[in-house]
Structure 1
Amino acid sequence: MKILYLLVAVFLMQCSGIHKTYHGYVYDNQTNMPLNNVFVEENLIQNANSGRSNSIGYFEIENNKESIADLIFSLKGYKKDTVVTVWSQHGESLMYKFLNKKSDTLFLRRVK
Structure 2
Amino acid sequence: MKRILLVEDNTEIRENTSELLELEHYRVFPACNGQEGLEIALKEKPDLIICDIMMPEIDGYHFLEILRRESFFENTPFLFFTASAEKSEIQKGLDAGANDYIIKPFDADELLQLMEKYLGE
Give me the TM-score of the superposition, normalised by structure 1. Answer: 0.25
Q: Which has the greater radius of gyration?
A: 1
Structure with higher helix content: 2
Give me the TM-score of the superposition, normalised by structure 2. Answer: 0.24
